[in-house]
A and B are shown apart, each in its own frame.
Chain A
């Protein structure tokens, strides 16, 4: 089952052609990784999937992106509903300067859930899903900024799960974490893919190889190659992919 498909997707920042003709199918309940050097367009692509590029001055998106078969770039589409379904985790853990509990239920509250009981249930579910509940259940009213970087990143993921996101977009979610924390987050992602569709941008090729099912390799705004992770890493079809994987550039 394909969750997200893109056809002839082009993105411009003013005159800069940031993404060139991207055609891609992202499978449901799998982890898809985008690799490539800085500025190759992988984050831009990620931000197309929840229309975060709309926030950038001078950004123009042409082509088609479909979520569950429905175009997400129609005129007057429901941006807010889209973003509830397609959540985003950023490079640097960015919990709000609020309590752990308030962070967790921020989304539901914004969407109008007021009942304390309901919110408590939601927070327990979300925190359990990211394996934080046992650790934190006794200090939900503590500031989220007291948590370690890894816990903060988990909390940021929980924040998305609390609004029933279906797709988790992750923009280098481990780049500010140490190796042990990184490993724990990776284990979490593998566990979460049963219920969610995960798209992850990473600088770290080993990370893509370890956890992803499919991988796309990007270079200068083009998607050079896309395929199952096994195939792409073992026998890349393109010379440029092979060069990158062998560390000749990037």
Chain B
């Protein structure tokens, strides 16, 4: 066969692969939006759940979702970024750092239900938090840590060594090089990791059923139980309560994730123009 012909086959095959992937994605999104959006209204977004989800709105689940996402980021981001800074800036490459890195990689591959079980045994029962936003957020945070650590680490490593040397050369300390130049420069990469893990938190179900519980009420404190949108969707779809309400919830969930992603990327671009 002549190379030109092979080339043609290759480009057709690659193009098809791309189209299939893209169309599956678009199909899923459009199907859910098509099924779900008609039922989404101001009332749907702002009223409490009625009849176990058969009617009423999804207001409590929206609040629970934001509560969980926000709290888990607040816990995981400082810990994860701190660990990444420690691994890259404050230690030299040795067995310990390799072990830490290996364990974070393993942690990233563990199914979320295992995290759920851990959260249930440790946070819910042993620490006595009960089914609560707090226990759920802590569990989500442990799930998010590996992603945040590894992406932050990559981003920090990508900052040229020269920038650190200049800071030292001007009489700056290690901490100043980290806060003044390394973290600002690595920020877009770090943010990407946080967005990715936030997506995971918002769409998580298995781990949350065990830890945050499935209360139908709007959580009032970190110790109240609450079901997130994803958990609500899972429950009412699985128990055949109302497929229509389930699709409505899913549509809101998809729109929420899109809003989070788009606004973070906008923020990132605005920021990168300053630090380009």
Q: Chain A: residues with CB nearer than 8 A to chain B?
A: 50, 52, 55, 57, 80-85, 87-88, 90, 92, 94, 96-98, 106-107, 109-111, 143, 145, 156, 159-160, 163
Contacts known (A80-B173, A145-B276, A163-B170); A55 close to B181, Cβ less than 8 A: no
Q: Kindly state the separation between the CA atoms of A87 and B165 in the bound complex, as whole angstroms.
A: 11
Q: Judge whether B169 and A110 touch: CB under 8 Å.
A: no
Tell which of B160, B166, B171, B275 touches A111, judged by Cβ atoms closer than 8 Å.
B171
Q: Kindly state the separation between the CA atoms of A50 and B166 in the bound complex, as whole angstroms.
A: 12
Q: Judge whether A110 and B172 touch: CB under 8 Å.
A: yes
Shortest CB-to-CB span from B158 to chain A, Å, is: 12
Decide if the interface of chain A is mainly helix, strand, loop or mixed.
helix
Contacts known (A92-B162, A145-B276, A159-B166); A97 close to B171, Cβ less than 8 A: no
Which partner residue on chain B sits nearest A108 by CB separation? B170
Shortest CB-to-CB span from A125 to chain B, Å, is: 16
Write 5 A-B pairs (CB below 8 A) sorted by A numbering: A55-B168, A80-B172, A87-B170, A90-B165, A98-B275
Q: Judge whether B166 and A110 touch: CB under 8 Å.
A: no
Q: Mark B168-186, 1 if CB is under 8 A from A, else 0.
A: 1111110010001100010
Q: Kindly state the separation between the CA atoms of A143 and B275 in the bound complex, as whole angstroms.
A: 8
Q: Kindly state the separation between the CA atoms of A96 and B165 in the bound complex, as whole angstroms.
A: 11
Q: Kindly state the separation between the CA atoms of A90 and B165 in the bound complex, as whole angstroms.
A: 9
Q: Judge whether B185 and A97 touch: CB under 8 Å.
A: yes
What band does the interface of chain B fall in when counting residues whose beta carbon is under 8 Å from A?
Answer: 20 to 34
Decide if the interface of chain B is mainly helix, strand, loop or mixed.
helix
> Is B270 part of the binding interface, using a Cβ–Cβ cutoff of 8 Å?
no
Q: Chain B: residues with CB nearer than 8 A to chain A?
A: 92, 160, 162-163, 165-173, 176, 180-181, 185, 274-276
Task: Please name all residues of chain A whose beta carbon is closer than 8 Å to the beta carbon of B172 when the two chains form the complex.
Answer: 80, 107, 110-111
Q: Kindly state the separation between the CA atoms of A203 and B167 in the bound complex, as whole angstroms.
A: 26
Contacts known (A84-B171, A98-B275, A110-B172); A55 close to B185, Cβ less than 8 A: no
